[in-house]
Structure 1
Amino acid sequence: MYLVKTPWLLKKLYSNLIWNQSRNNHCIYLTFDDGPIPIVTPFVLNILKQYNAKATFFCIGDNVSKHPDVFEQVKNAGHNIGNHTYNHLKGWKTDDKTYFDNFLKADEQLHTNLFRPPYGRIKKSQIKLLKKAKPDLNIIMWDVLSGDFDINLKPEACLQNVLKHTENGSIVVFHDSLKAFERLEYVLPRAMEEWSRRGYEFSPLAP
């Protein structure tokens, strides 16, 4: 089970994490998790370029090691980079030291002050460790989860998820992964077209 729109209570419980940007700005903050990989990440980059859109890519360190050329494409296109751990670890099921070391291993490659915990699962003790090591670290969550990772979700329903719930300042989660590609390939160009029609701008998250 997952929630497409993050409830206010969860934001309040974890108020030291970043869930959305200012509602005063007619801007959407697109984020892409789990890359970089061939085929899918270049597809995303091409769609974003068509709309002069900038986004934030939360990269898995192991994928950066395997596909450095694709990682360079992301950077060269002017998008921002975030840390998504080296091996996509779920914080709730990982001891603090292992989680912290995995974060640091990815940080050696990514050199960024943006971090998103895989699955959105992180313990408060892990937050404390990361913030102690990097006081200026911004831990980024979201307020709209597209559900593109859900293999049982029809692409049309995934599109409605993002169009219905996105508003000024929304941080929207997509995945540049093979698992998500069937839905992402359908949703992203259609969502970008509709959002552009509504007059939204597309900015990366500031480090």
Structure 2
Amino acid sequence: MKMYWVKTGWFIKKLFSGYVWDMPNNQKTVYFTFDDGPTPKITEWVLDILQQHNIKATFFCIGNNIVQHPDIFKRIIAEGHAIGNHTFNHYNGWSTNNKIYLENVAAAEKVILEQNPKFKQAKLFRPPYGKMTPLQAKHVRNKGYKIIMWDVLSADFDTTISPERCLKNVIDNTIEGSIIIFHDSVKAAKNMQYALPLAIANLKERGFTFDTMA
């Protein structure tokens, strides 16, 4: 099993206070986010589920996937979801030259803006793997981005855990203001497609509402 925190600790949030980890509120509002799409069939399945429940979410899209699947990206926008930049090639900032990394962020922004000019008004960025250097973060923020991380990691990407564990990760750790991360990717599909509908039902039953990050 991979090593990661399902619930982001207060010390991490304090250490990296320039990032957005949660959105505390008194309305029991939480925030579903989806990384790595658009992906044929999988992103469309997510959109169908969200539409059934009248939930708006935030999709952190890979630029290259937008280029390959523009119709799915257009549907995300048309159905009122927020968009975030997830680089063009899903680069790990810790192992990527700063110049190359920032050029990759800019390339993703370009393809997002071509189909969604409103992105200029609420620029959101999530680093792939949650990894970027302080210099990369500084430059991204200087370009007007909010860097969005997460409070609850579903771990749907982890093929060594069961779908039931993925669901438990979400429902046991979500509180008011939680930013919850799923992945609309092939790798995560089995866990995500089991956990998402049941998480929605559980959270609704507990009185939670849902909103976008933008």
Secondary structure of the equivalent of 1:29? strand
CA drift of 1:58 comes to 0.1
CA distance in 2, matches of 1:24, 1:120: 27
CA drift of 1:195 comes to 0.8
CA distance in 2, matches of 1:131, 1:26: 28
CA drift of 1:25 comes to 2.8
Q: 1:65 is matched with which residue?
A: 67
CA distance in 2, matches of 1:147, 1:139: 20
CA distance in 2, matches of 1:23, 1:12: 18
The residue type equivalent to 2:80 in the other structure is G
CA drift of 1:109 comes to 1.4
Runs of 4+ residues deviating >4 angstroms: none
Worse overlay, 85-94 or 192-201: 192-201
Query: What residue ranges of structure 2 are gaps of 5+ in the alignment?
Result: 114-118
Q: 2:116 is matched with which residue?
A: none
**1:181 maps onto 2:189 in alignment:** yes
Deviations 1:33-75 (A, max 9, x none): 0000111001100111111100000000000000001101111
Q: 1:131 is matched with which residue?
A: 141
CA drift of 1:130 comes to 1.4
Q: C-alpha root-mean-square deviation of aligned residues, in Å?
A: 0.8
The residue type equivalent to 1:104 in the other structure is A
CA drift of 1:88 comes to 0.2
Secondary structure of the equivalent of 2:12? helix
The residue type equivalent to 2:33 in the other structure is T
Correspondence list, 1:41-120, <5 A: 41-111=43-113, 112=119, 113-120=123-130
Secondary structure of the equivalent of 1:100? helix
CA distance in 2, matches of 1:193, 1:50: 12
Secondary structure of the equivalent of 1:149? coil
CA distance in 2, matches of 1:49, 1:16: 33
**1:31 maps onto 2:39 in alignment:** no
CA drift of 1:137 comes to 1.2
CA drift of 1:23 comes to 3.8
- Tell me the matched-pair count: 204
Q: 1:2 is matched with which residue?
A: 4
Secondary structure of the equivalent of 1:82? strand
TM-score, length-scaled by structure 1: 0.97
CA distance in 1, matches of 2:51, 2:44: 10
Deviations 1:51-102 (A, max 9, x none): 1100000000000000001101111110000000000000000110010000
The residue type equivalent to 1:125 in the other structure is L
Q: 1:22 is matched with which residue?
A: 24
The residue type equivalent to 2:145 in the other structure is L
Query: What residue ranges of structure 1 are gaps of 5+ in the alignment?
Result: none
Q: 1:195 is matched with which residue?
A: 203
The residue type equivalent to 1:108 in the other structure is K
The residue type equivalent to 1:92 in the other structure is W
**Which among 142, 147, 150 is matched to residue 150 of structure 2?**
142
Report % sequence identity: 50
Secondary structure of the equivalent of 2:196? helix
Q: 2:132 is matched with which residue?
A: 122
